[in-house]
Amino acid sequence: MLNRLVVFFGLFWVVTSAFGQSIERYSIIPRPAQLEPRAGEFIISRSTTIGVPFGQPDLKAVVDTLANHMNRSTGMNLSVRNVNKLTVPENLIEFIPSPDTTLGDEGYRIDATNKLITIEASSSKGFFYAVQTLYQLLPPAVFATKHPVPATNLTTLSIPACRIQDRPRYSYRGLHLDVGRHFFPVPLIKKYLDLMAMHKFNNFHWHLTDDQGWRIEIKKYPKLTQIGAQRRETIVGHYDDYDPQVFDGKPYGGYYTQDEIREVIRYAASRYINVVPEIELPGHALAALAAYPELACSPGPYQVATKWGVFDDVFCPTEKTFSFLQDVLTEVINLFPGKYIHIGGDECPKTVWKKNAFCQQLIKREGLKNENGLQSYFINRIDKFVTSKGRRIIGWDEILEGNGPAIRLSPNATVMSWRGIKGGIQAARQQHDVIMTPGQFCYFDHFQGDPAQEPTGFGGSLPLAKVYSYNPTPPELTTTEATHILGAQGNIWTEYISTWDQLNYMLWPRAAALAEVVWTPLNQKNYEDFTRRLPVLFERLSTLNVTYARTIYDVSFSAKPTGDGKVDVSLSADKQAPQIRYTLDGSIPSDESLQYERSLVLDKSTTIRAATFADGSALSQLAKMRKDYIVSKATGKPYTLLNAPSAGRPDKNYSLTDGVTGGMGGYEVAGVVSFSNDINAVIDLGQSQSIEGVRVGFLKYTAKNICLPKQVEISVSEDGKTFQLVLTAKTNPAEAGKRGFVRLPFDFSPTTARYVRIIARNIGRVPAGLRNPGKAAQLMVDEIEVR
C-alpha cells in the first residue's frame, strides 16, 4: 500500500503514501538516535526464522509478541525459536543479548540487510524498544488485529535495510490521564498503554482522584467508591457556554476495583511501563469529602462535583484526615510496585483553612507562618509517611511552596513542574528530581488549532509544532543541576474529553511529538522531518482504529477589505497539504469543489468552507474549517471611536468594518473590540448614499461579564457635524442563555447620508440573574454593517 513508488535521493528514500504525499521510508517515531539507511529490503516470509537464545524467557516473551503481530496481520505462522549460532545466517531475524554498556538499559541496535536482521540489547527492555522500532519499519498494516487486513493483501512483510543504534535522551517519558473528570474503563486503559508503548513512553501517570470522582477501590473506606465514584450529573458544554450553567441530569460514574488495578499494572509492566498513581491532596478532594464529610473542616454535607474548577472545600489537616490518608496510601502502596506515589498538592485554596479555628490553632501550635505553611505541613506529613514506606513522592510544583529550613521536603521528593518551568528550575537547584510538564508545551487538553474551529476544549493553545519544539532541560541549569531533569510528561485533563475518540483526537499526533522530545537526541530533532513521518503514523493509527487530529493540514484564513468595499480572503495550508478546495454556499467541500488558486474577492456576505487534499484524497477534516465574512456598505470604511476601546482588546486597522467576524472557543475570544463604557462610533461611508439599517455583532458572554447593550441609538449626517437621530432601540442586556455573537438589526426608514453614528449603551453592571451580578459590564463587538 505504501511502497508504490520508491525514489532514491541521496541518503533519503521517499515513497508515495495512500494520501499521495511523499513520505519517508523510515517513518520511526520517536526518531532513533542514529539511523543509517541502506538499500534493499529484508523479506519476511513463511520460511523466515526468528531466533532468540536459550534461557531468556523475558526476551522470548517480547519477541513472541512481535511474531504474533506479524502472524495476525499476514496469516503467516511464524514462531520464535531458540537458536544457537547458525552456520548459514540467512533469512534470519536474530535477537542477541549484548554486554555493550553504551546501549544503556533501554538502548538497542538493529542491523538489517536483505539477508539478515540482528538485534542487540543488554536488557529485555532494550529488546522491547527494538521491537517497537521493528513494528514501525514494517508496513502500518502490521498493526491490524485481523487477517486479512481490509484493503490490503498482506501475505509477506518487508523491512527496509538499515542500521540503527538507539537509546533514549531521558529516563522518564510520561503520559498522564485524568480519569476523575471522565472515566475510562480498563480495556481502554490497556489500549492507552499499547499506544504509549508503541511510542516508547515508560511512565503512565494515572490521575485517580479528583473533585468529580474517586476512581480507585479502597477496601477500608468503601464509601469512597460507593459515594465518591458517582456524580449526580455533569455540566453541559464548556464551563462558560451557558449562563446560567446547564446540567445533563444524568448520573455519571465508575471506578477500578483493586483486581482491575493489579491487572492494569501487570499489563503495563509487560510493556515496560511503570504506573504512577495519583491520590490528590489536600485539594481536589470533594469526592472524598462527599463520602466522608468528617474529613472536611465543617460538617458538610458535600456532593461530588458536577462541574469543573477548583473548589474551596479541601481536606482539613486533622489527625483523622492524616489517618485516613495514610490508610488510603497504604493500600495504594501495596497495589502499586513503582517507586513513585503522586500526592497531588496543586490548586488548594486556603479559604476554609483561614476561617477555621482548628486550622488557626494548628498554625500557632506548629509555629507556621500562615495557611501556606499549613499546606507545607500537610505535604510534609504525607511525604514522611510515603518515604517511611520506602517510596518517594511526586507532587505538582506547589509542593515547593514553603519548602525551607523549618519544613523540608524529603530529598527524594520529585517535582512535576506544570505552572511553566520555574518550579522545575527551582526544584533542580534544590537538588530535587524534576519531571517537566509545563502547560504551554505539555497540556494536551489545550487546543491544537483555531479554538473557534476545534471541538469543545478547555482553552489555551498548543499546536503540534510547539509540542515538538520543547526542550525539557532549561538552558539556565548547570550540568549538575540538569541531571535532576528526569524527563517530561504530556498531561491530558478530561473535563471536555468524555469519549475514547475525543481522547485520541487530543493526544495524536501531539503525544508522538512529545515522544520524540523525550527520546530523540536534541541534535537529531527536526520538525520538518517529523511531519514527513506523520502520514505513516496516521496510517498506523487508522489501522488501529485510533482517532487522531489532522489539524496541521487545516486551512488558515486571512482577509482584508479591498479599496472598493469588498473582502479579499486568502487561504493557506501547510506545504504537505498541496491542494485547497472550497465552497461559498455553506456546503461541505469535496474533492470536486473548486480548487483554490488565488485569493477570493467577496462582494457579498459569504461563508467559506475549505479543506485540503493531496491527489484527490482529503487530508483535513472536510466538515471542519469555516469562516463567515460580512460585506456591507461599511466594509473597509474608516470610522472614529469617540470612546476608546479597552486596552486588552484594542481596535486594530478598523477591525469593526474589516468584514472579518469574531470567533470563540474554550476561554478564547478572537476578532473583537472591547469597551468598558459606551460604544460611540462614527462611520464615514465616503459619499452620501441611501441607507436603511445597521446591524451590529455583539458578543454575549455574560459568564465573563460581556453583556449586550441596554440601548442602541443610530444617527446619520451628511457633513459629519450635525447628526439626525433615526432610531433608538431598547435592547436586552439581561439576556441569559448560550454565549455567542448576536447580530442585532436596527432598521429605519430609508434616508440619505454619508456618516452613520452608532451609540451602544453599556449596562454598566452585570444584571441580576447572570453569573456575576454587579460586576462591571463590558461591550464587545466584532463587525458593524450598514445597509
Q: Could you list the residues that contact ligand ACM (CB under 6 A)?
A: 346-347, 396, 418
Q: Which residues neighbour 215 within 8 Å (Cβ) at sequence distance 6 or greater?
A: 179, 180, 183, 208, 209, 225, 229, 254, 255, 256
Q: Of 631, 586, 589, which Cα lies nearest the Cα of 785?
A: 631
Closer to ligand ACM by CB, 346 or 747: give it: 346
Q: How far is the CB of 131 from ligand ACM (least distance, A)?
A: 34
Closer to ligand ACM by CB, 418 or 441: give it: 418
* CA atoms of 39 and 762, how far apart (whole Å): 72
Closer to ligand ACM by CB, 62 or 393: give it: 393
Nearest position to ligand ACM, beta carbon: 346
Tell me the β-bridge partners of 174: 203, 489
User: Which of 233, 260, 263, 347 is labelled catalytic?
Assistant: 347
Q: How far is the CB of 399 from ligand ACM (least distance, A)?
A: 11
* CA atoms of 480 and 433, how far apart (whole Å): 12
All 3 cell numbers of residue 231? 456524580
Q: How far is the CB of 439 from ligand ACM (least distance, A)?
A: 7
Q: How far is the CB of 437 from ligand ACM (least distance, A)?
A: 8
All 3 cell numbers of residue 341? 506515589
* CA atoms of 687 and 689, how far apart (whole Å): 6
Closer to ligand ACM by CB, 37 or 460: give it: 460
Residue 608 Cα distances to 45, 226, 555, 629, 630, angstroms: 51, 51, 11, 8, 11
* CA atoms of 499 and 188, how far apart (whole Å): 10
**Rg (alpha carbons) of the chain, rounded to whole number:** 30
Q: How far is the CB of 170 from ligand ACM (least distance, A)?
A: 20
- Cβ atoms within 10 A of the Cβ of 608, count? 23
Closer to ligand ACM by CB, 120 or 398: give it: 398
* CA atoms of 261 and 646, how far apart (whole Å): 53
Q: How far is the CB of 346 from ligand ACM (least distance, A)?
A: 4
Q: How far is the CB of 181 from ligand ACM (least distance, A)?
A: 12
Closer to ligand ACM by CB, 255 or 443: give it: 443
* CA atoms of 557 and 610, how far apart (whole Å): 9
All 3 cell numbers of residue 536? 505513516
Q: Which residues neighbour 488 within 8 Å (Cβ) at sequence distance 6 or greater?
A: 170, 172, 173, 174, 435, 436, 437, 441, 442, 470, 472, 514, 517, 518
* CA atoms of 242 and 488, how far apart (whole Å): 36
3-state secondary structure 699-737: EEEHHHCECCCCEEEEEEECCCCCCEEEEEEECCCCCCE
Q: How far is the CB of 502 from ligand ACM (least distance, A)?
A: 19
Closer to ligand ACM by CB, 314 or 619: give it: 314
According to DSSP, residue 31 is labeled P
| Catalytic site includes residue 94 | no
* CA atoms of 434 and 442, how far apart (whole Å): 14
Closer to ligand ACM by CB, 283 or 589: give it: 283
Expressed in angstroms, the distance from the first to the final Cα of the chain is: 56
Q: How far is the CB of 418 from ligand ACM (least distance, A)?
A: 4
Closer to ligand ACM by CB, 256 or 396: give it: 396
Catalytic sites, residue numbers: 347
